[in-house]
Amino acid sequence: MPELPEVETTRRGIATRLVGKKVVRVIVREPRLRWPIPQELALQLPGNIFSAVERRAKYLMLKTPAGCLIAHLGMSGSLRIFPATAPLTKHDHADIVLDNNTCLRLHDPRRFGALLWTNKNPLQHPLLINLGPEPLEADFNGAYLYRQSRGRSVAVKNLIMDSRIVAGVGNIYASEALFTAGIHPARAAGRISRQRYELLSQAIKQVLNAALEQGGTTLRDYYASDGKAGYFKQQLKVYGRAEQPCITCKLPVRLIRQGQRSSYYCKYCQR
């Protein structure tokens, strides 16, 4: 399941093979993604040369002079470069065919992903304009989290998964960062000290960077743009480890539901 490290891994994997290449045509086999793939994509993208591949939160921005392809991998999506004649597999919903006999292929079994097209600054797109700071940038820090959390009764885990607060912290890494910081996931956000938010912001950066170094976390169906699995799963401390002993205190890791998501934590190590 692509989270920020997986999306960044994908960005790095495809960027060098896209930039400077011209789009020959766009093939849409299944337009029914999170939103329908717009007609404008197939009409306006061909003939253009990719100038940059950037990321904002979990959105990828594939830039050309004429406009920008915005891609989201949803729960199960992948973007990989294939030979243009590579055999199709189930759920290969779209190909961006390039002028060097390769194609960028979107594969997404659950179809929670998206391919969109904009002629404007993609950062001004409705889906991106309200995103909070990037978690790995300097403006995301303890002071910022502390300020944003004052007067909020929401559980701290929900706070850090709110894309308006910080962009791109998903369910896996939220649980992991809270464990590292020693903070209970259900604690009211407004009742956490500035000092502890400093710990939390550092933990978020640390866990995301560690996952990035491992090429992301492969649980079920995530594979990097080179098709390889990520290796961060072996380093997960609480996520997916319900009833297994906490790596610190040996008490069983607990599983609760917050919102509609699973949260894993240690009752003793997280307060």
Partner DNA sequence: CTTTACGCCTGACGGC
Partner DNA sequence: TGCCGTCAGGCGTAAA
Residues labelled catalytic: 2-3, 58, 261
| DSSP tag of 248 | T
* 225 touches DNA by CB under 7 A: no
Tokens of 210: 């560690």
6 phi and psi angles, rounded to 5 deg: -70, -40
- If one asks whether residue 34 binds DNA (CB under 7 A), the answer comes out as yes
Render 5-32 in DSSP notation, one character per residue.
HHHHHHHHHHHHHHTTPBEEEEEES--B
The total of other beta-carbon atoms located within 10 Å of residue 184's CB is: 19
* Residues in binding contact with DNA, number by CB under 7 A: 36
User: Should residue 54 be labelled a site residue for DNA when binding is judged by CB under 7 A?
Assistant: no
Cβ at position 62, least distance to DNA in Å: 16
145 binds DNA (CB under 7 A): no
CB of 135 to DNA, least distance (A): 12
Write the binding mask 59 to 88 for DNA: x where contact by CB under 7 A, - elsewhere: x------------x-xxx------------
* 22 is a contact residue toward DNA (CB under 7 A): no
**Number of residues assigned to the chain:** 271
Kindly tell me which of 1 and 203 has the beta carbon lying closer to DNA. 1
Spatial separation of the C-alpha atoms in residues 62 and 117, rounded to whole Å: 10
Stretch that binds DNA, among 15-23, 56-64, 139-147, 229-237 (CB under 7 A): 56-64
Q: Least distance to DNA from the beta carbon of 239, Å?
A: 7
> Residue 57, by phi and psi: left (phi above 0), alpha (psi -120 to 50) or beta?
left
Q: Near DNA by CB under 7 A, which window of 10-18, 193-201, 230-238, 256-264?
A: 256-264
206 binds DNA (CB under 7 A): no
DSSP state string for 154-190: SBHHHHHT-TTTSTT--HHHHHHHHHHHT--TTSBGG
141 exposure class (CB count in 10 Å sphere: 0-12, 13-18, 19+) = middle
Residue 188 corresponds to which tokens in the numbers above? Answer: 């009211």
Contact, 92 vs 101, CB < 8 A? no
CB of 93 to DNA, least distance (A): 10
CB of 262 to DNA, least distance (A): 4
CA pair distance 105, 81, nearest whole angstrom: 6
Taking the complex as a whole, the smallest distance from the CB of residue 39 to DNA amounts, in Å, to 18
Judged by CB under 7 A, which of 65, 85, 220, 234 binds DNA? 220
Give the ranges where the chain is alpha helix by DSSP (H).
4-18, 39-44, 142-149, 156-160, 171-181, 194-213
How far is C-alpha 78 from the chain's CA centre? 11
Among the listed residues 172, 203, 238, 266, the single contact to DNA using CB under 7 A: 172
- Return the residue of 12, 21, 91, 205 that touches DNA, per CB under 7 A: 91
Q: Which residues bind DNA (CB under 7 A)?
A: 1, 3, 32, 34, 57-59, 72, 74-76, 90-91, 109-112, 126-127, 152-155, 158, 161, 163, 168, 170-172, 220-221, 259-262
